[in-house]
Amino acid sequence: MSEDPRILTAYWDEPDTVWIGRYVQTGGYKGLRKALKMTPQEVIEEVKASGLRGRGGAGFPTGVKWSFVPQDTGKPTYLVVNFDESEPGTYNNRELIERDPHEFLEGAIIAAYAVQCRTAFIYNRGEFLHPGRVLERAVAEAYDKGFLGTNILKSGYDLDVVLHRGAGAYICGEETALLSSLEGYRGQPRLRPPFPAVEGLYASPTAINNVETLANVPHIMVNGAKWFAGIGTEKSPGTKIFSVSGRVNRPGNYEAPMGTPARVVIEEMAGGISDGKRLKAWTPGGSSTPFLTADHLDVGLDFESIAEAGSLLGTGALIVTDERDCMVEACRRLLQFYAHESCGKCTPCREGTWWVTRVLARIENGFGKPEDLPLLSELGDNMLFKAFCALADGAVSPISSTLKYFLDEYEDHVRLGRCPFADRPAEGAEPEGPSGDEEERREAPGALAALEALAEPETPRPIPLSEVLR
Amino acid sequence: MPVLGAELFAEAERIKARYPQGRERSAILPLLYLAQSVEGRVTREGLKEVADLLGLRTAEVEAVASFYTMLRLRPTGRYVISVCTNLPCALGGAKELYREAHDVLGPGCEDATEDGLFTLHEEECLGACDAAPVVQVNFANYDRISKERLVEMIDALRRDDPPPPSRGAFPGDFRKASRILAGLEPEGDA
């Protein structure tokens, strides 16, 4: 891979990448032509053999997922595209759509053919108003050129694509919540099983795929499974678009083979830490994946290596902090997000995210007590794997990983009665955000006792269920 | 006063027709956007008319509408300014940005400013973290916004002269943006 390793982003540098003319000119829709000459089963086998795994976070083998969609139920089958990209730090799907929508769309049409779907839905994140318009135009172009509609490329295969815009809810990126939302309900997750492959949209067999996953499919069709399997690592083949943000010189999306060391992505591609500072922490796959540190920079960015290092590859979103940044405040801000986005269905998530946010704000603002640190840990334990979906598990990631790697920062907050980073000049994080609890905001050192009494009205401590049942 | 007049009623039927027969409930979000495009927010009448279109009770539609932040049930300005303060943007100074916007727009701007022009929304991650801190106006993106730039943007919006977004065209006021979100042409025949 000494030459340019880019596959998905190969045309991003060119100004006129977006529309169908350029796409077809550079070999676009050849994958679809090839797929339509194969049987759906052969397409599934090819994608299975490539080893392609879902890029939305879970890493499930895509071809296997398609093979789970039964064809003999008497119900229609559906393809639903999850373009509800909302994981903090993640923006690779958005840029894929904005820069080369047909690459994804061709992949979606091939996927729909593989599962014998006649109506596919794209769940477009609501806030992505402009990407949605790009997609609308791309879909119209594809109809116009005969890549969508009836009798596609004279194959006898018919497919319609419906763009469905969400309306502002992180949870709708969770596949069963997405289905609830698409069916016209509140976006709350459902119990699995039945899995969506068997009973998904409208209780019919449904394949749900991420945008980046599908963008790989045309390339697999054209170049073959063996070619794809030879890129990246054995168990995580292909490339991945890594979204790098935070304290780096050149934040951006960078495509690299799976298994590329984090050091290469952060220090070379993204230009290293800004202002000559030292890296403190980074997430491998968005805010729901545990922070890693400078000690992990040589870990390869693939599903297995990152798991071995104690985190998750997630969406491949690297949020980078440096020595200026307070990890207690970073954790508090992320928990504020989870508390806001919890759908409220499950108690451990709804209550847990709320309480943890309060305890973190208390520590950040200088009111923390030594017993708050084990309390945070206990609250995390009461959330992890205790709810329907993975939102609560994701919320525990920043808690457990900051306690693991930055316990000294928590202890300093408690010992000093203030944030040790707050009195740094210039751009350092301030102790309280605009949406923090007013009552917990520190006014002046003299008011501390009074405020503490206000902030702490005999805080009811969550009682472990085991003690209640005893 | 009906929210969805005759022409819009026809558009509502077209929106329903995007979904398989018998699955028209799926049209609830675009229909709510359509109602929002008429009134600049979703009112009780809007909820009721969407309910009637789908054969649901108003409470069922309200239960859905209240779940989603982009459907505005409270008073809403002509321009909804969303400032992301999630971690990647916070590292770029987004909290100070939000505070500045709040100071400039004044108390009560989480609903609508008195002149009806603005709503300020503290936003979660907008998926453009390479451009932190990120601001949206009516869901159009503005990259790498400083406090000074934000104040300039607010001034320009007061003059009804929206600055060009970082990508794509400005969608127009909140009603027009809602119309696009309903999957309809910005200008439309209504």
Residue that is last in its domain, among B72, B91, B124: B72
Burial class (CB in 10 A: 0-12, 13-18, 19+), A408: exposed
Residue whose structure tokens are 């730039």: B149
Q: Report the candidate in B67, B186, B102, B188 with the shortest Cα–Cα distance to residue B138.
A: B186
pLDDT at position A343 over 50: yes
Does residue B61 sit in the same domain as residue B87? no
Does residue B40 sit in the same domain as residue B57? yes
pLDDT on residue A100 = 95
pLDDT on residue A466 = 43
User: Is A416 within 8 Å of A366 (Cβ atoms)?
Assistant: yes
Does residue B98 sit in the same domain as residue B162? yes
Rg from Cα positions in chain A = 24
In whole numbers, what is the pLDDT of chain A averaged over residues? 91
Q: Report the candidate in B174, B156, B171, B170 with the shortest Cα–Cα distance to residue B119.
A: B174
Determine whether the interchain pair B69/A167 forms a contact, defined as Cβ–Cβ distance below 8 Å.
yes
Kindly report the nearest CA distance between residue B169 and chain A, in angstroms: 8
| Residue A385 contacts B, CB cutoff 8 Å | no
Does residue B67 sit in the same domain as residue B85? no
Q: Report the candidate in B167, B143, B163 with the shortest Cα–Cα distance to residue B88.
A: B143
CATH of the domain at B52: 1.10.10.1590
pLDDT on residue B185 = 78
Kindly report the nearest CA distance between residue A459 and chain B, in angstroms: 27
List the single residue in B33, B86, B96 with the smallest CB-CB distance to A337: B86
Does residue B86 sit in the same domain as residue B54? no
**What percentage of chain A carries pLDDT values higher than 90?**
86
Domain for residue B44, yes or no? yes
d(CA A449, CA B1): 55
pLDDT on residue A6 = 95
Peptide bond into A257 cis (omega under 30): no
The CATH number for A20-229, chosen from 3.40.50.11540, 3.40.50.300, 1.10.10.10, 3.40.47.10, is 3.40.50.11540
Q: What's the rounded mean pLDDT across residues B163-183?
A: 97
What is the total count of domains within chain B? 2
pLDDT at position A267 over 90: yes
pLDDT on residue B186 = 66
* Residue partners of A109: CB distance under 8 A and separation at least 6: A32, A120, A142, A147, A148, A152, A159, A161
pLDDT on residue A4 = 82
- Residues in chain B closer than 8 A to A245 (CB atoms): 88, 91, 129-130, 132
Residue whose structure tokens are 């194959």: A155
In tens, the pLDDT along B121-134 reads 999 999 999 999 99
Q: Report the candidate in B186, B189, B163 with the shortest Cα–Cα distance to residue B81.
A: B163
Domain for residue B55, yes or no? yes
Give the pLDDT band (50/70/90) at residue A5: confident
- For A97-109, letters b (16+ CB in 10 Å) and e give bbbbbbbbbbbbb
pLDDT at position A423 over 80: no
- In chain B the first and final C-alpha atoms are separated, in Å, by 16
Determine whether the interchain pair A88/B88 forms a contact, defined as Cβ–Cβ distance below 8 Å.
yes
Does residue B111 sit in the same domain as residue B166? yes
- Residues in chain B closer than 8 A to A133 (CB atoms): 168, 180
Give the pLDDT band (50/70/90) at residue A427: very low
DSSP-derived letter for residue B69 is T
In tens, the pLDDT along A433-468 reads 444 444 443 333 333 333 343 444 344 444 444 443
Dihedral sign, Cα of residue A132, residue A135, residue A141, residue A144: negative
Chain A: residue nearest B66 by CA? A186
| Residue B184 contacts A, CB cutoff 8 Å | no
Distances (CA, A) of A138 to A18, A72, A210, A393, B14: 8, 32, 18, 36, 21
- Is the model more confident about B190 or about A189? A189
Does residue B83 sit in the same domain as residue B167? yes
d(CA A172, CA A121): 14
pLDDT on residue B189 = 38
pLDDT on residue A284 = 98
pLDDT on residue A17 = 75
Does residue B89 sit in the same domain as residue B159? yes
pLDDT at position A127 over 60: yes
- In chain A the first and final C-alpha atoms are separated, in Å, by 60
* CATH fold for domain A327-469: de novo design (two linked rop proteins) (1.20.1440)
A301: its two tokens: 């960015």
* CATH fold for domain A239-322: Ubiquitin-like (UB roll) (3.10.20)
Does residue B86 sit in the same domain as residue B21? no
**What percentage of chain B carries pLDDT values higher than 70?**
97
Instruction: Assign residue A93 a region (left: φ > 0; alpha: ψ between -120 and 50; beta: otherwise).
Output: alpha
A272: its two tokens: 């290293």
List the single residue in B19, B90, B130 with the smallest CB-CB distance to A429: B90
A336: its two tokens: 């504020």
CATH of the domain at B131: 3.40.30.10
Kindly report the nearest CA distance between residue A428 and chain B, in angstroms: 8
Q: Provide the chain A residues 24-63 that lie in CB contact (below 8 A) with chain B.
A: none
The full set of domain ranges for chain A reads: 20-229, 239-322, 327-469
In tens, the pLDDT along A202-234 reads 999 999 999 999 999 999 999 999 999 999 999
Residue whose structure tokens are 């952060």: A266
pLDDT on residue A459 = 40
| Residue B68 contacts A, CB cutoff 8 Å | yes
A9-13, A194-198, A304-308, B156-160: segment of lowest average pLDDT: A9-13
User: Is A94 within 8 Å of A85 (Cβ atoms)?
Assistant: yes
A177: its two tokens: 């919540």
Does residue B122 sit in the same domain as residue B84? yes
Q: Which residues span the domain enclosing B157?
A: 79-172
pLDDT on residue A2 = 52
pLDDT at position B1 over 60: no
pLDDT on residue A129 = 98
pLDDT on residue B3 = 81
Task: Order the strands of the B79-84 sheet from edge to edge.
Answer: B118-123, B79-84, B135-137, B140-142
**What percentage of chain B carries pLDDT values higher than 90?**
92
3-state secondary structure of B130: helix
In whole numbers, what is the pLDDT of chain B averaged over residues? 95
- For B149-188, letters b (16+ CB in 10 Å) and e give ebeebbeebeeeebeebbbbeebbbbbbbbbbbbbbeeee
Does residue B94 sit in the same domain as residue B109? yes
Determine whether the interchain pair B127/A86 forms a contact, defined as Cβ–Cβ distance below 8 Å.
yes
Peptide bond into A460 cis (omega under 30): no
- For A127-152, letters b (16+ CB in 10 Å) and e give bbbbbbbbbbebbebbeebebbeeeb
In tens, the pLDDT along A295-312 reads 999 999 999 999 999 999
Q: What is the pTM of this model?
A: 0.92
d(CA A243, CA B48): 43
Q: Which of B32, B129, B134 to mutate to test the interface with A (most CBs of A within 10 A)?
A: B129
- CB neighbours of residue B134 within 10 Å: 29
Instruction: Assign residue A252 a region (left: φ > 0; alpha: ψ between -120 and 50; beta: otherwise).
Output: left
Domain for residue B163, yes or no? yes
Angle in degrees, CA B93, A364, A347, rounded to 5 = 100
d(CA B147, CA B163): 15
| Residue A164 contacts B, CB cutoff 8 Å | yes
Determine whether the interchain pair A130/B127 forms a contact, defined as Cβ–Cβ distance below 8 Å.
no
Q: What's the rounded mean pLDDT across residues A384-396?
A: 95
| Residue A169 contacts B, CB cutoff 8 Å | yes
Does residue B83 sit in the same domain as residue B163? yes
Residue that is last in its domain, among B54, B72, B90: B72
In tens, the pLDDT along B37-69 reads 999 999 999 999 999 999 999 999 999 999 999
Chain CA centroid to CA A450, Å: 42
